[in-house]
A and B are shown apart, each in its own frame.
Chain A
Amino acid sequence: MNELIEKLASYISKDILKQPSRVIQPDEAIISSGLIDSFSLVDLGLFIEDNFGVRIDDTELNKETFDTLEQLASLIQSRQ
């Protein structure tokens, strides 16, 4: 679980936000806080699909489905 969260956090800070030094906490709100936007969510969805073999549907890319890395990691694990 921790490794999964680390990989997700690293992708968001390096590739999406382009701020490699930005630390994202596992329980930090990433969608409702506006940290990542709708397009970046699609980008993140594709990263998850390619790296973890889990598809997150277009209608699930929202804060109601997951808002923190912890929640996202749980969602991925539940579908693996």
Chain B
Amino acid sequence: MNLISHEFLLLFLPFTFAAYYWFTKTPRQKTFFLLVVSYLFYSLAGLKFVPVLFGLSLATYALAKWNKFGWGVLINLAALILFKYWNFGVENLNLIFSAFGAKMNLLNFGLPLGLSFFIFKHIGYLLDVQQKRCAPAADFWTFAAFSAYFPQISAGPISGYKDTAGQFDALPNKLSGERLYAGLIFLSMGMAKKSLIANSIGLLLAGKFNSIEGFSGFFPAWYLVIAYTAQLYFDFSGYTDMALGVSMLFGVSLPPNFNNPYLATDPAGFWNRWHISLSTWFRNYLFNPLSRGFLKSWGSPKREQAQYAANLITMSLIGLWHGAGWGYILWGAYHGLLLNFHAWWKRLNRPLPVYIGRPILLFSVVLGWALFMSPNFAYLNHLFLQLFGFGGLGSLDALKALSLESATPALIFGLALAFSGFSEAAALTDESNGRRVWQMALWGALAILSLLFLQKNIQFLYVQF
């Protein structure tokens, strides 16, 4: 099952929503209902990995209960390595040892839906219980509902046990008008972002731009990376808006993931606005303890080196989290270097005005996406040569063809929206503005339009991570 599908939007969601408020009355019943519906949702994406989700939830719950936190983290990381990174490691080892005739076999398990997301929820829970930031789950079913909670299982946002499961104890029996309104706005906005903007751009990028032979020249290359910059944001923030909106309809608030990231003026600001739940997770559970350790062992005189090391390690691992590939690791390390450069610049005490800081940051972020989107070194090499003008400017015919693509108006509209500051659903649900009928009609019309334009078998980009 996929949030952005006719099956989910027209059948699964309306039926489960009606049944939830019709048949369940107490928070306990509602939590159990959410658990059953979440496993149904997960099963509809494929039965194969249901035991993995259930087994890891059970192991995490039990090991936290028995104070075996280290084992819990280890088992979750082992599953992540086995399913996500094993083949990447084996391929690289085979490259090294092929000269000696040694070769290891690849595994063909496939990647369980949402693995990186629910494993990070599990590890966060284990560390929070260990550090006494939250009490262990009262019972397995509540923890299992948190672990598999269907609006966030595919691609987050990653939330803490205390924040999300804490709401299960007080699930409302009736949905308030405010929540229904906000939930539907989030849902409509997410659908429109994905269906009308991200998919329109994505269709073009999945075509000729997907291969080295498909494009050449400065202008087509910049069109490609700018289009990808817009596609990734509208795809992932569209997904997040939908996940938050669906969850609101069931009475649970999930944490926000975006806050106009392309309006940031420095790298630190960008990571406070992009994939907020992931950067918060890494900051809480890796960057802060790592920085603390470096500062204690290296001392204050080496605080700059400590900061550079902590930034580089954390960002490289954020890159690796996205996928088993050198492109992702390079992208992460590149952002670590950007953060280090920013920290160094800040120490010079020469603040840049917004009109200089923002374009520099945008240029850096777009170059980063070029690393992120490249499937291999040959593609990356070709793309960077074109971006820096080593492949000419691009043929006039190619530019004409691009201007006539249906993706171009979607891209222009998307960029205008992203830079206007009105691309976040949270900004549209401010109750102080009231709930105007024309706004509701507009969002309803957008939702219908999004459904009409929705293609079959499409997926969110971040679901693959």
Residue of B nearest to A42 (CB): B291
Cβ B295 vs Cβ A38 within 8 A: no
Beta-carbon nearest neighbor of B349 in chain A: A19
Query: Does A79 sit within 8 A of B, measured CB to CB?
Result: no
Instruction: Please give me the residue from chain A that is nearest to B314 by CB atom.
Output: A38
Interface string of A41-53 (1 = CB under 8 A from B): 1110110000000
CB distance from A42 to the nearest CB of B (A): 4
**A57, B133: Cβ atoms closer than 8 Å:** yes
Assess the A34–B266 pair: CB atoms within 8 A. Answer: yes
Known: A43-B295, A57-B133. A38 touches B269 (CB 8 A): no
- B284 touching A59 by the CB < 8 A rule? yes
Question: Which residues from A are CB-within-8-Å of B288?
Answer: 38, 41-42, 58-59, 61
In contact, A37 and B295 (Cβ under 8 angstroms): no
The residues of A that contact B285 with a CB separation of less than 8 Å are 58
Bound state CA distance, A29 and B295, in angstroms? Answer: 25
Q: How far is the CB of B338 from chain A (nearest CB, A)?
A: 13
B292 touching A39 by the CB < 8 A rule? no
Number of A-B contacts (CB under 8 A): 50
Q: A46-B295, A57-B131 are in contact. Are A39 and B311 (CB under 8 A)?
A: yes
Given known contacts A45-B292, A46-B295, A59-B133, A18 and B347 CB-to-CB distance under 8 angstroms: yes
Query: B343 near A: Cβ within 8 Å?
Result: yes
Residue A15 is within 8 A (CB to CB) of chain B in the complex: yes
Which of B128, B131, B283, B303 is within 8 Å of A38, CB to CB?
B283
How many residues of chain B are within 8 Å of chain A by beta carbon? 27
Contact of B268 with A37 in the complex, beta carbons under 8 Å: yes
Residue in chain A with minimal CB distance to B291: A42
Once bound together, how far apart are the Cα atoms of A58 and B296, in whole Å?
Answer: 15
Would you list which residues of chain B between 293 and 308 have a CB under 8 Å from chain A? 295-296, 300, 303, 306-307
A6 to B289, CA, bound (A): 27
- The A1-23 residues at the B interface (CB cut-off 8 A) are 15, 17-19
B129: Cβ under 8 A from any A Cβ: no
A28 to chain B, nearest CB (A): 15
Whether the pair B268, A34 counts as a contact (CB closer than 8 A) is yes
Residues of chain A with a CB closer than 8 A to B128's CB: 59
A19 / chain B contacts, CB cutoff of 8 Å: 349
**Contact residues of B: prevailing secondary structure:** helix
Q: What B residues does A41 contact at CB under 8 A?
A: 288
| Cross-chain contact A46 with B296 (CB below 8 angstroms) | yes
Answer yes or no: B242 CB below 8 A from chain A CBs: no
A15, A18, A58: which contacts B292 (Cβ < 8 A)?
A58
Chain B residues lying within 8 Å of A58, measured Cβ to Cβ, are 284-285, 288-289, 292
Residues B221-280 near A (CB distance < 8 A): 266, 268-269, 280
B346 at the interface (CB under 8 A from A): yes
> For B283, what are the chain A residues with a Cβ–Cβ distance below 8 Å?
38
- Among B266, B288, B292, B310, chain A packs the most CB atoms within 10 A around the CB of B288
The distance in angstroms between the C-alpha atoms of A38 and B307, with both chains bound, is: 9
Knowing A18-B347, A43-B295, A45-B292, the reply to whether A38 touches B133 (Cβ < 8 A) is no
Which B residue sits closest to A59, measured CB to CB? Answer: B284
Q: Which residues of B contact A17 (CB under 8 A)?
A: 349
B343→A37 contact, CB < 8 A: yes
Q: Is B61 an interface residue (CB 8 A)?
A: no
In the docked arrangement, what's the CA distance between A57 and B303, Å? 20
Write the nearest CB–CB distance from A12 to chain B, whole angstroms: 13
Q: Which residues of B contact A59 (CB under 8 A)?
A: 128, 133, 284, 288
Quick one: closest B residue to A61, CB to CB?
A: B288
B287 sits at the interface (CB 8 A): yes
Residues of A within 8 Å of B349, CB to CB, are 17-19
Closest B residue to A16 by CB, please name it: B303
- In the bound complex, how far is the Cα of B131 from the Cα of A29, in angstroms? 29
Residue of A nearest to B133 (CB): A59
Report if A38-B287 is in contact (Cβ < 8 Å); known contacts: A43-B295, A45-B292, A46-B295: yes
> What residues of chain B have their CB less than 8 Å away from a CB belonging to chain A?
128, 131, 133, 266, 268-269, 280, 283-285, 287-289, 291-292, 295-296, 300, 303, 306-307, 310-311, 343, 346-347, 349
A sample of 7 inter-chain contacts (CB < 8 A) reads: A34-B266, A39-B306, A42-B292, A42-B295, A43-B300, A45-B292, A59-B284
Q: List 4 tightest A-B contacts by C-beta distance, closest first.
A: A58-B288, A42-B291, A39-B307, A59-B284
> 12 more A-B contacts (CB under 8 A) besides A34-B268, A39-B307, A59-B133?
A18-B349, A34-B266, A38-B291, A39-B287, A39-B306, A39-B310, A41-B288, A42-B291, A43-B295, A58-B288, A59-B128, A59-B284
